[in-house]
Structure 1
Amino acid sequence: MLDAPKSKPKDLEAIARTGGPLRRMAARVPTYLTDLKENPAWLPMFLLARTMPFRRAHWLTARPIPSSATAPSMFGGIKAEKAAAELRRNGIFTGLTLPPAIHEEIARFARETPCFGNFERKVEFLAGEHAEAERRFERTILSGHHFERVLQCKAAVAVQQDPLLLNIARHYLGGEAKLITTRTWWSFPTKSASEADLSRASFKFHFDLDDWRMLKFFFYLSDVDADAGPHVYVQGSHNRRRMKHQLTLLVGHSAEDVLGFYGKESAVTLTGKAGTGFVEDPFGFHMGTLAKHTPRLMMEVGFGVSKPSKRRYHGEPVIR
């Protein structure tokens, strides 16, 4: 019987999931410094965009929506205005569905294209070889990202360029909304993770702080039930924020802390067949739970209002 692989200390995802607050922040310092060097305006955003007064002030700078003809969308007759209104109320809008030919093609691409485990380019493998990869690299592998390779998939590019996505983003974020992230990734079940790994991975709510104003579209590319790593979103947490959640550099908080303030009834667990999609304001608390039995394949298309960094375009952290 083979011994279970052990996570190596330099594994950024393992640190982020299992380390203490100071250790997690220290692991992200190279990423923060890279962001700051590339764009000095990142620092005031990082420090101030977590506070409601500064966020609301920035929303007042939103530009008018440019007038343009409505182009056909793969998502049918969904109205951008309706989606934006729902986003303003709850922080999330569901009901997006990818055509079968599109999500099947992206899933095929993801199966046939090597991914990078736990954000490390040295940990490269095919998703179907996950168990063998854990033995070969002697570590727990919880995720596999394709980074810039996703742009080799015509179906994925068609999704990111669909006019409805930009139209919803402009109605919600303002006329300056632009594409800033596109990525596909696997979330893997693993027998080698400790109970502590599983607990921390499953019950850590967080909010994203990559821009002053953001919107993220998510699409399941595999069937996702309660045991396949469903995404969870806390409705209403995008426009109200507990003071202690504003006055800390940490973006992650326990489920008890988050749901104790925003209410258990506010948490929505999103399940669905392959092709199911939704869009959310990622400043609201959310989390992706760990897949228990089968891998989860997901796609994200993000929009923001600031200049995108080369690194953020593919969601890759900086590891040293």
Structure 2
Amino acid sequence: MRPPTAPDGRTAAIPAGMGARVRRLTTRLNQYIATGRRNPVWFAMFIFGRFTLARRLAWGIRSPSRRRSRTDHPTIFPAVDVEAAVRDLRVDGIHPGLMLPRTTLAEILRFAEARRCYANSDPNRAIRVNRGGDVHFDGPPPLIADYHGQVFDCPAIRQLATDGTLTRIATAYLRSEPQLTRCRLWWSFVAPDSPAELRNTFSQDAFHFDIDDWACLKYFFYLVDVDDGAGPHRVIRGSHRNRRLRHQFTIFKGQSLASLTKVYPARDFLTITGPAGFGFAEDPFAFHTGTVATVRPRLMLEVEYGVSQLPVAGRYGSPQG
């Protein structure tokens, strides 16, 4: 993990012009309506969860009655210091000290190569990708390809979702019994001609924060080597607790790079690279983004915990199927 000398100035989170904003909002609206119908309480969380004070109040009310120590699950991360991880998360919003065992990495790669994934998350556009990211497309190359709910067919991913170290970190950080909300496995491809609106849709070069619950913790794992040319993840250190009001009173979770550089120093814009198997924990309320791959594709796994059993809008892979 390294801070760049200065923010790279690539595509802002929201394209200029009201037309693009309206199209983006319309794209999300159906997801939000469907999610709210499943659980009307979700609307309250989604509206008020962007405010730091509301999050702290809701989080504090839930914590004392729901806190539970998770020490019963085996772990594949015996060397990880749980207390140090939680300290990093509280201060920086990120902890980079995870590494998948080779056997776990190999099992997930075999699974990804054997299963179909869906170009630009379109269920009608199934494709196969080998572990090197090679794939043939009909038409323009997609920006991403997602495995959706199939992820829970992979024993290694199921094991990660209940790993003792990951759940202990989540329990301590969330101050609550962690609820597994989703797992996601997806490719990001080299797609230089992809429009800015599509990159925003799939959070590529588009800084944003997540509102999946009153409090969340995500684990990300690179399943291939990721350097500057393979679409590394970026995060603004400390932005999960240091939030200007203008970045709270907004209907959009995405914020322009220009508005963020006015608030956060260049040293807090972190670009995360690492070898295959490298992982990190992150509070997704911090501003973060994927970046567009420019040289080689990236395969990434995400495991997310929350503090409630609220549905997640746009869920890619849930334990409920």
Give the direction of change, closer, same or farther, for the CA distance of 1:22–1:235 in structure 2 (3 Å limit): same
Write out aligned runs for 1:199-278 (5 A): 203-278=205-280
* Residue matched to 2:116: 114
Give the direction of change, closer, same or farther, for the CA distance of 1:310–1:95 in structure 2 (3 Å limit): closer
Gaps of at least 5 residues in structure 2 are 1-13
Give the direction of change, closer, same or farther, for the CA distance of 1:140–1:25 in structure 2 (3 Å limit): farther
| SS at 2:229 equivalent | coil
Give the distance between the partners of 1:180 and 1:228, measured in 2 at CA.
27
Per-residue deviation, 1:71 = 4.5
Give the distance between the partners of 1:196 and 1:181, measured in 2 at CA.
25
Residue 288 of structure 2 is aligned to residue 282 of structure 1: no
Give the direction of change, closer, same or farther, for the CA distance of 1:57–1:227 in structure 2 (3 Å limit): same
Give the distance between the partners of 1:311 and 1:50, measured in 2 at CA.
15
By relative contact order (CA 8 Å, sep 6+), the higher-ranking structure is 2
Give the distance between the partners of 1:125 and 1:68, measured in 2 at CA.
38
| SS at 1:82 equivalent | helix
Give the direction of change, closer, same or farther, for the CA distance of 1:203–1:173 in structure 2 (3 Å limit): same
* Residue matched to 1:175: 176
Q: Which amino acid letter does the alignment assign opposite residue 35 of structure 1?
A: T
Mean Cα displacement is larger for which, 32-41 or 306-315?
306-315
* Residue matched to 1:8: none
Per-residue deviation, 1:175 = 2.2
Contact 2:143 2:189 in 1 (8 A): yes
Residue 155 of structure 2 is aligned to residue 132 of structure 1: no
Give the distance between the partners of 1:179 and 1:198, measured in 2 at CA.
27
Mean Cα displacement is larger for which, 186-195 or 307-316?
307-316
Per-residue deviation, 1:292 = 0.9
* Residue matched to 1:46: 46
Q: Residue by residue, what CA displacement relative to the aligned partner does 1:156-199 show, whole Å, maximum 9, x if unpaired?
A: 11111211111111101122321111110000112543588779
Give the distance between the partners of 1:199 and 1:43, measured in 2 at CA.
23
Give the direction of change, closer, same or farther, for the CA distance of 1:197–1:71 in structure 2 (3 Å limit): closer
How many equivalent residue pairs?
Answer: 298
Give the distance between the partners of 2:190 and 2:166, measured in 1 at CA.
31
TM-score calculated relative to the size of structure 2: 0.86
Give the direction of change, closer, same or farther, for the CA distance of 1:75–1:208 in structure 2 (3 Å limit): same
Q: Residue by residue, what CA displacement relative to the aligned partner does 1:236-265 show, whole Å, maximum 9, x if unpaired?
A: 100121111111110111222112211111
* Residue matched to 2:163: 162
Contact 1:17 1:197 in 2 (8 A): no
Gaps of at least 5 residues in structure 1 are 1-15
- Structure 1 runs (4+) greater than 6 angstroms displaced: 16-19, 195-201
Give the direction of change, closer, same or farther, for the CA distance of 1:97–1:37 in structure 2 (3 Å limit): same
* Residue matched to 1:5: none
Q: Residue by residue, what CA displacement relative to the aligned partner does 1:250-296 show, whole Å, maximum 9, x if unpaired?
A: 01112221122111110111100000000000000000001112110
TM-score calculated relative to the size of structure 1: 0.86
State the identity as a percent.
36
Per-residue deviation, 1:59 = 2.3
* Residue matched to 2:145: 144
Give the distance between the partners of 1:57 and 1:213, measured in 2 at CA.
11
Write out aligned runs for 1:51-90 (5 A): 51-61=51-61, 62-63=63-64, 65-67=67-69, 69=71, 71-90=73-92
Per-residue deviation, 1:132 = 2.7
